[in-house]
Chains A and B, each alone.
Chain A
Amino acid sequence: EAQVTQNPRYLITVTGKKLTVTCSQNMNHEYMSWYRQDPGLGLRQIYYSMNVEVTDKGDVPEGYKVSRKEKRNFPLILESPSPNQTSLYFCASRTRPQETQYFGPGTRLLVL
Chain B
Amino acid sequence: DAKTTQPTSMDCAEGRAANLPCNHSTISGNEYVYWYRQIHSQGPQYIIHGLKNNETNEMASLIITEDRKSSTLILPHATLRDTAVYYCIVRVPFGNNDMRFGAGTRLTVKP
Q: What is the interface of chain A, defined by CB distance below 8 A to chain B? A: 4, 33, 42-43, 45, 48, 50, 56, 58-59, 88, 90, 92, 94, 96-106, 108
Kindly name the residue among B45, B93, B96 whose own CB sees the greatest number of chain A CB atoms within 10 A. Answer: B93
- In the bound complex, residues from chain A placing their C-beta under 8 Å from that of B98 are 33, 45, 48, 58-59
Report the minimal beta-carbon distance from B52 to chain A, rounded to whole angstroms.
16
Main secondary structure of the interface of A (DSSP, over half): strand
Given contacts A97-B94, A98-B49, A100-B49, contact A42 B101 (CB under 8 A): yes
B99: A residues at CB distance < 8 A = 94, 99, 101
Q: Which residues of A have CB within 8 Å of B100? A: 45
Q: Is A97 a contact of B93 with CB atoms below 8 Å?
A: yes
Q: Given B36, B44, B45, B96, which contacts A50 in the complex, CB threshold below 8 Å?
A: B96
Interface magnitude class on chain B: 20 to 34
Given contacts A42-B101, A98-B49, contact A90 B43 (CB under 8 A): yes
- Nearest Cβ distance between residue B23 and chain A, in whole angstroms? 18
